[in-house]
Structure 1
């Protein structure tokens, strides 16, 4: 008897490399149900290279924007390790921006995050079926450039009269330009300074010499102090601005217009925010599609997955909330309308509450099952003067950064300030690679990121941290922990003794 039975082709073996645990899990679930075998996962490019070296997969899904080593850097090494594998890159960037670059360094295809899971699955199959050496089309989620259908701009929200500053010069406080009044003397002491000027100068305080916060501007003011009408461009901590001088009887008025720089700031904010929003949206969309496609025939699987999906929804919704909070706060800082409500606050209680939000010691969403948590130590129980909601926002930013870019364990300490006994310090300490020496001095400036295009937020988080803490009468600093990781410290004034 002649049995002509051909063995079924083995399932293609896949490695998924992406720094978002929830997205890795959903991609792995979709691919597994679609007939692929997930052999391993990794959360950054360097770990991805070692994972590919160990497992030699047939297919690699590779995120482009990741910490430690991004996908563009890792891609050539992965291609050398598995020359016949199909490598498909994932990114929040538009396909027109990144696909050509990815293909040029060895990718076989490009998927823009946010595409429906069934479409991604079909696309992976198409790329796998394509002849060797031929790249697949890109899979995007947005229309081609030029397809914008509306240029409508919403009007700016009006300021609530109840939120306007009491007393003082309200016109000065709400002016869209930076305005300073300087004493007409060699030191040019700052007499008054509005919020926009403070943003541009960084650390300008009434009573301090202008040269302390803006030496270039102080030099130019000195040069033009006797001119009847002088205008010049100057580089400040918050960006380049056009400075215009006017004299009064006893002082010098300085107007700072950063409108041109603000256009660049807006463009960068739109670009980085669009990329960061797309990741959580992609995860939430994938969860919705997975739930809709589940026919309920396997109740065991459905029950096992439910807690994981709920945890993913909570985390990604929180990520979206943080992004929008960053953008709204940055806009308030830019316009000079940032407000804080300073009251007596139990810093230890806020620290414990925010740390509990980041507790993943029982991880329901990580495909690796790696524990993440925050160790809280309260050495100083004094109350501080702060805005509790803003303090929580600041701690969320610092803890998210530490958990994403640092190493376990992450510590949150509340202690007395060694240099200023009337202050309490909240330290966020990680055990990762630390902050590079060339970044320490500018890590709190807008759009400063460890690596161009690296994953990890809008580039506004630490800028907002310092701005908020200074608005509450304190300061934020960055340093190196004893074990070599990063330590970010919030120095807050204590509440007066009763």
Structure 2
């Protein structure tokens, strides 16, 4: 008798922080003849799973909480020197492929590539080959010794943009409503100050109010922008003064013009805004790519063998569709709200809202969160905006914090305080001052995000006569508190 050789299927570990994408990859790889022996949602747990199973192939995401893929790669390579490690990420391939191979990866596939393409690529890598690049979907790694950085990798200073010509600013009096209405749409800040020692704010267009951090008439300039107030005082008698300074919204170029009885201040942060916009587009594109990859993968999976799929698996895929659609809805809601804030068109529909009902409805079927209600009073708020604020804080807690997660409602004098609590590492001390700024992200953060969520929460709280604050938890983690007037 002759023995018939049998070949065992290659064993795969999937490390990605999106459970829906892990399930799709598991379905595709199993269908393609691989044996998925383990999964993990971050690099640290991924190392443990690899140590346990010693797989032949590792699919590894780059951007994950706790420990990202680039940090985990050297350890995984030491544990499985013969394994094929394929990095899977939504970041630009040209930016990350050289870094990934330098850390020990064998190949790189961008999220959003068709599942069949990913499957073929993993097969080729497992057989010892490398697939040619297919557009931007699948990219063979480059030799780090000869890799040339792309333009995106080179840190070049932003070009300076001159402040708007102050001569364009009209002499605006308190009754000249049409002039201020025209200036509302200006892409730079325009602030009118009373020509007196306190330089009180008379009027500010939306961009000016955002840069100063206030739109309240009568506010002394020194209370919101002390450096600017000092320079205005120094230059107030000059016929033509321009200078640069720092305000709450960032560094600005300033031009001053005097009217008969007031001082017009033009604030141009165009250079900084261009840099912010470029970073915002990049991070938002990455944030959108993940859900889109999952939705496309589900469509492919159902097209393969949806008719033969078990009812329970079909149900899980449909739940994934709902989850990813909600993520996309939250991203677009934040982008729209940020645009409304910038243009001064944000609207608030005040109603009497019961926090308990709103909180339970917001978390149902979405998050495993403990709810503690110590104050049953209603608040005067916009229910849709309040849900958007709560959802942003809970999403933030799940990205950057750790379980257990708690939403607590308590009394604070005339206010109802809604706390969102996690037990992670908390916000780094050096980042706390920038926490609620537009497009702000902590240095070295690996979790995805647009950088708009907390900025939107702060602005919506203020628009509803409330406030948002951060404090470190008494036993670690973070406590974000929304305060709204009780009614």
TM-score (norm 2): 0.87
Matches within 5 A, 1:69-108: 69-108=67-106
Aligned equivalent of 2:208? 197
How well do the aligned residues superpose, as a CA RMSD in angstroms?
A: 2.3
Q: Secondary structure at the match of 1:441?
A: helix
Q: Is the 8 A contact 1:13 1:39 kept in 2?
A: yes
Aligned equivalent of 1:155? none
Aligned equivalent of 2:406? 411
Q: Is the 8 A contact 1:67 1:455 kept in 2?
A: yes
Aligned equivalent of 2:198? 187
Displacement of 1:174: 4.4
Structure 1 residues 378 and 195: CA distance shift in structure 2, 3 A: farther
Matched, 1:476 2:487: no
Q: Distance in 2 between matches of 1:347 and 1:116?
A: 43
Query: Structure 2, unaligned stretches of length 5 or more?
Result: 140-149, 152-176
Q: Distance in 2 between matches of 1:203 and 1:29?
A: 53
Matched, 1:380 2:375: yes
Displacement of 1:25: 1.0
Aligned equivalent of 1:442? 434
Q: 1:235 aligns with which of 227, 233, 246?
A: 246
Displacement of 1:23: 0.3
Measured against aligned partners, the alpha-carbon deviations of 1:74-128 in whole angstroms (never above 9, x if no partner) come to 1122112211110000111222222122112211000000111111111000001
Measured against aligned partners, the alpha-carbon deviations of 1:448-480 in whole angstroms (never above 9, x if no partner) come to 224436123111111111111112221111111
Aligned equivalent of 1:3? 2
Q: Distance in 2 between matches of 1:453 and 1:406?
A: 12
Matched, 1:178 2:192: no
Structure 1 residues 140 and 435: CA distance shift in structure 2, 3 A: farther
Structure 1 residues 342 and 229: CA distance shift in structure 2, 3 A: farther
Q: Distance in 1 between matches of 2:182 and 2:16?
A: 49
Q: 1:353 aligns with which of 358, 361, 369?
A: 361
Matched, 1:342 2:350: yes
Measured against aligned partners, the alpha-carbon deviations of 1:243-293 in whole angstroms (never above 9, x if no partner) come to 221223333221212233222222112111111111001001111111010
Aligned equivalent of 1:58? 56
Q: Secondary structure at the match of 2:13?
A: strand
Query: Structure 1, unaligned stretches of length 5 or more?
Result: 147-166, 360-372
Matches within 5 A, 1:452-463: 452=444, 454-463=446-455
Q: Secondary structure at the match of 2:257?
A: strand
Matched, 1:331 2:339: yes
Matched, 1:306 2:341: no
Q: Is the 8 A contact 1:478 1:487 kept in 2?
A: yes
Q: Secondary structure at the match of 2:434?
A: coil
Aligned equivalent of 1:160? none
Q: 2:271 aligns with which of 257, 260, 273?
A: 260
Aligned equivalent of 1:366? none
Aligned equivalent of 1:368? none
Matched, 1:399 2:394: yes
Q: Distance in 1 between matches of 2:104 and 2:134?
A: 17
- Which one is further off, 176-185 or 114-123? 176-185
Q: 1:35 aligns with which of 17, 33, 36?
A: 33
Structure 1 residues 101 and 376: CA distance shift in structure 2, 3 A: same
Q: Secondary structure at the match of 1:126?
A: helix
Measured against aligned partners, the alpha-carbon deviations of 1:132-186 in whole angstroms (never above 9, x if no partner) come to xxx654566569999xxxxxxxxxxxxxxxxxxxx99544544443222223233
Displacement of 1:39: 1.4
Displacement of 1:378: 2.3
Q: Secondary structure at the match of 2:81?
A: coil
Q: Distance in 1 between matches of 2:134 and 2:467?
A: 46
Measured against aligned partners, the alpha-carbon deviations of 1:399-420 in whole angstroms (never above 9, x if no partner) come to 1121233222211122212xxx
